[in-house]
Chain A
Amino acid sequence: MKSKFGFVLARTAVLLLSACATDGGAYSGTLVLEGRHIYSSGDILNGVLVIVDGEVILEEGAGVRGSVFMLGGAAEINAAIDQDVSVVGGDIAIGPEAIIRGDFRVGGGEYEIAPGATIEGSILTGPASNVELDDFFPRVSAAERLVQLLPWSLVLAFLAYLAARTIPAALARVSQAEIEHPVVAAAMGILVGVVGPVLLVFMAFTLILIPVTVIGVVVGGLMVAYGWIGFGTAFGRFLVQRFNLEVGRSGSAFLGTLAFMILVDVLSIIPFIGPLVSLLAATIGLGAVVLTRFGLRQFVPATDLIYNEEYEA
C-alpha cells in the first residue's frame, strides 16, 4: 500500500513539475565579480545581471532578459535591457544604441547617457531612485511567483517523504526542537545564519578553500531545507490528526511539507509580513537542525536538564 502511495506521489509530482516549467530566466542570472566581459550581438543573458566589480560591455545586438543591478566596477551598455537598470556604485555609460525598457535608477556612482539612447521608463537619480533589493529579481506577478515556487515545494515534499521513510527519528527530533523550542532555535539560527556566510565568504577569499565554500553553501542549503521539512512534518501530523486522514508517517510528511510550503509561498505574496514569516521559519529550522545536530540527538535546554535532574528530584 505504502509503495503504491509513493508511486502515485512520484507520478503526480512529475506531472506538476512539468506543468510548472517556465521560460528561461526565471531561475537564471549573471554575477560579475571581476575581469572584463564583452557580450556581442546575439548574446542574450537570461535573468538579472549583477555587476559587483570588473568591467562589462554589452554591445549592440546583445540583450538582458531581466534587470541590471550595478554595485561597482564599470559598464558600457549599447544593448537592449528588458527591465530596470539600477546603479548603486561604479561607472556606467549608456551608449546611443541602448534600449532600456524599464527605469534607469541611480542611487550612487557615476553615469553618462549618450544622445540617442532610449529609456522607456523614467530616469530617477538620488533619493528618488529608490533602488531596492527587489531590483535584483525579475518582476513577476503573484500568480507567476506561486507557479515558480511550486516545484520547490514539491521537491521539498518528496525529500520529506524520503526522510520520513529513512530517518524518521532524526526528522522527529528536528521537528520537536522547532515546535517546542522556537525561541532557542531562532537564536541559534540567526547566529549560524550570520556567522556561516561570513566564514564561507572569508574562505572563498583564500582561493584554495573555494571548493570548501561551495560544499558549505550546499550544506547550508540542505540544512535550511531540512528545517523546512521539519516544520512540514509537524504540520502533516497536525493535518492528519485534525482531519482524521488515513496516511502513514511518510505520506503525512509529504502532505504536511507540501501544504506548509504552499502556505509559506502564499504568505510570501503579502509585502513585509510574508518574507518575514518565510525568513523566520527558515531561521528556526536552521537553528533546530544545528541544535539537534542534524537530528542525531534530542535537544533539551541545559537549564531544563538541571531542573529536571536536581531541583525537582
Chain B
Amino acid sequence: MDLFRSLKAGNWPLLFGIVFFTGMMAVGYYYNLTFVQFGLLDLGTRVIGMSEQRVATAMAVLAVITSIVAITFGLYMMRRGWSEQFKMKLRLAFGVVLIQTALTWIAPDVRSEAGFLTWVVIAAIAMGIGVPVTFGMTVDLVPVRYRGHAGALITAGAYFPAAVLSATRTIEQFSAGLIWVMLAGMLSLGALAFADLDFVSRLARQHRHAEFGRGRFVRIGTEGKPKVRRSLILLVILMFGIFFIDSLGFLRLAETPFFFETAWQSPELTPRLNIGITHVLAALIAGVLYAALNEKELFLWIFGIFGLVHLMYSGMARNFPIGEPTLAAPILYSIAVSLYTVVNFAIWADISTPQTISRNTAVGVAMSGFTATFLSTALALQLRLAGVSLETHLRIVDALAMLFFLMVFILIFFAPVARRRNKDRESVKERG
C-alpha cells in the first residue's frame, strides 16, 4: 500500500487513522514521560513529604499493577474477540482517558500518603487497560509498511516537548498543562466511539486487509496458522534486557547532578533543545530504518549503540573531571533511546494478527515496563543501599550491556548456521 497513491484516490480516512493514532499515542507517551515519571515524584516528595525511597516503592507498585492488569485485560480482550473490534477499543480508550483526565485534575490536591497510593492504584489500573486497547488499534489504523514511520512520529512528538518544555517539573504545572490536552482527547475519543460515523466504520474494517492485519514478522505455518520465528522472539526477549539495563543505568545517572543538570535538567534551554532535536532526528531515522532493515540488523544496531553509550558514560565517570559538561553522551543516549522506543511502538503489532494483538502488546509492553521500572528500580536501590559507587554501578551496567550485545551478535551469527544444518538434515532424511 502506497500512502500517497491512496490519498490521491481519495482514501482520507486512512490518513485520519494514522494521524489520530500517532497523536493519541504521542500524548499518552508524553503523559507517561512527564506526569507519571516526574510529576508523581514531585507530588510525593515535595507536596506530601514522602521519602524518595517510598515514592520509588509506590512507582514500582504502579509498574507491577499496570503489568498484571495489562496482561489480564489483554488476554480477556482476546478471548472476548474485542481485539478485532475497533469500536469496542475506542469505547474502552474513552473510559481510560476519562479516568486519567479526572486523575490529572485532582492530582495537585492529593495531600496524604494514603491518597497518593490510591491515586497510584487507580492510575495503574487505567494504564493497564489502556495498553492493550491503544496499542491494539495499530492493526486497525496503521498499514504494516508505515508502522516504523508512525512509531517515529509518536516518539518525536513525545520526546521533543518532554525534553524541551519540562525544565520545571512540578505537579501543578504538569496538571495545568496536560488537563486541556486530556479534555480535548477525551471529547474526540467520545465522538468517535459513540457517534455513528461512516469513516469510523470504514476504519473498523481496515484490519481485514492484508496491508493492515498480519504483522510484518508473522508467517503462515504449514498448518495454516500464523507463526513468528523463534530467533525474533529471542531478540524481543533480549530487548527486555535492554529496557532493564537502560533503566538501571539511567536511574543512577539521574541521581548524579553532574550528568543530569548539564543535560536533561539543565536550567538553560540550549542543551535541552539539542537533546530534543536529537530525539526528533533519531526517531525519524529509526522510523525509516525500521521499515528498511531486517530484524537482525535492526536489533544489532540498537544493542550496539546501547553498549557504546553506557561505555561512554562510565568512561566519563572515570576520566573526566567533574565540572566539564559535555553533550556528546546525552545526545548519543537520546539516539539509542529513540531507536528502541520507535521499535517498541511498532514491533508488537508486527508480531501479531488482529486476533492476537491485544495479548501480544499487553505481554510485550507490560514486560518492558516491568523490567524497566520494577526490576531495575529494585536493583538500583539495593546497589545504592549496599554502598556501591557510581563508577562500579556503571561498570555493572557496562558489563550487562556488552553481554547482551554479544548475545545478540552470537544469535545473529549462529541462527543462519543452525538453519542451514536443519535444512541439511531434512534433505538427508528425504534422500534416505
Contact A306 B285 (CB under 8 A): no
C-alpha gap A311/B145 in the complex (Å): 12
Interface residues of A in 192-210 (CB under 8 A from B): 194-195, 198-199, 202, 205
Binds A, one of B97-105, B196-204, B286-294: B286-294
Contact B332 A198 (CB under 8 A): yes
Which of A199, A302, A311 has the most chain B CB atoms inside 10 A of its CB? Answer: A302
A243 shortest CB reach to chain B, Å: 33
Contact A188 B145 (CB under 8 A): no
B144 contacts partner chain A, Cβ-Cβ < 8 Å: yes
B343 contacts partner chain A, Cβ-Cβ < 8 Å: no
A303 contacts partner chain B, Cβ-Cβ < 8 Å: yes
Residue of B with least CB distance to A305 = B294
* Inter-chain contacts of A20 with B (CB < 8 A): none
Contact A187 B289 (CB under 8 A): yes
Question: Residue A202 contacts which of B294, B295, B304, B315 (CB distance < 8 angstroms)?
Answer: B315
Interface residues of A in 159-216 (CB under 8 A from B): 181, 183-184, 187-188, 190-191, 194-195, 198-199, 202, 205
A221 contacts partner chain B, Cβ-Cβ < 8 Å: no
* Inter-chain contacts of A272 with B (CB < 8 A): none
How many A residues touch B, CB cutoff 8 Å? Answer: 21
* Inter-chain contacts of A190 with B (CB < 8 A): 281, 285
C-alpha gap A181/B291 in the complex (Å): 12
* Inter-chain contacts of A181 with B (CB < 8 A): 292
Binds A, one of B26-34, B119-127, B172-180, B305-313: B305-313
* Inter-chain contacts of B210 with A (CB < 8 A): 310-311
Contact A187 B288 (CB under 8 A): yes
* Inter-chain contacts of B332 with A (CB < 8 A): 194-195, 198
* Inter-chain contacts of B263 with A (CB < 8 A): none
A36 shortest CB reach to chain B, Å: 20
Contact B144 A205 (CB under 8 A): no
B319 contacts partner chain A, Cβ-Cβ < 8 Å: yes
* Inter-chain contacts of B289 with A (CB < 8 A): 184, 187-188, 191
Q: How extensive is the interface on chain B, given as a class?
A: 20 to 34
Contact A302 B293 (CB under 8 A): yes
* Inter-chain contacts of A303 with B (CB < 8 A): 144-145, 216, 291-292
Contact B145 A307 (CB under 8 A): yes
B122 shortest CB reach to chain A, Å: 40
Tell me whether A187 and B294 are in contact in the complex, defined as CB-CB below 8 angstroms, given that A195-B308, A205-B319, A311-B210 are known contacts.
no
A216 shortest CB reach to chain B, Å: 13
C-alpha gap A188/B291 in the complex (Å): 12
Interface residues of A in 291-307 (CB under 8 A from B): 291, 301-303, 306-307
Question: Residue A184 contacts which of B288, B294, B295, B315 (CB distance < 8 angstroms)?
Answer: B288
* Inter-chain contacts of B291 with A (CB < 8 A): 301-303
B413 contacts partner chain A, Cβ-Cβ < 8 Å: no
* Inter-chain contacts of B301 with A (CB < 8 A): 191
C-alpha gap A199/B94 in the complex (Å): 46
* Inter-chain contacts of B294 with A (CB < 8 A): 302
A261-275 interface code vs B (CB 8 A; 1 in, 0 out): 000000000000000
Which of B289, B304, B315 has the most chain A CB atoms inside 10 A of its CB? Answer: B289
Residue of B with least CB distance to A290 = B297
* Inter-chain contacts of A202 with B (CB < 8 A): 308, 311-312, 315
C-alpha gap A209/B211 in the complex (Å): 48
Contact A191 B216 (CB under 8 A): no
C-alpha gap A60/B398 in the complex (Å): 50
* Inter-chain contacts of B293 with A (CB < 8 A): 302
C-alpha gap A181/B289 in the complex (Å): 11
B97 shortest CB reach to chain A, Å: 31
B233 contacts partner chain A, Cβ-Cβ < 8 Å: no
Contact B285 A191 (CB under 8 A): yes
Residue of A with least CB distance to B288 = A187
Interface residues of B in 185-218 (CB under 8 A from A): 210-211, 216
Interface residues of A in 76-111 (CB under 8 A from B): none
C-alpha gap A205/B315 in the complex (Å): 9
C-alpha gap A184/B148 in the complex (Å): 12
Residue of B with least CB distance to A183 = B288
Question: Residue B305 contacts which of A187, A195, A310 (CB distance < 8 angstroms)?
Answer: A195
C-alpha gap A88/B428 in the complex (Å): 71
C-alpha gap A311/B220 in the complex (Å): 12
Residue of A with least CB distance to B295 = A302
Contact B308 A199 (CB under 8 A): yes
Top-4 shortest CB links A-B: A187-B288, A184-B292, A301-B292, A187-B285
A-B contact pairs, 15 of them (CB 8 A): A183-B288, A187-B285, A187-B289, A188-B289, A188-B292, A198-B308, A198-B328, A198-B332, A205-B319, A291-B292, A301-B291, A301-B292, A303-B291, A310-B210, A311-B210
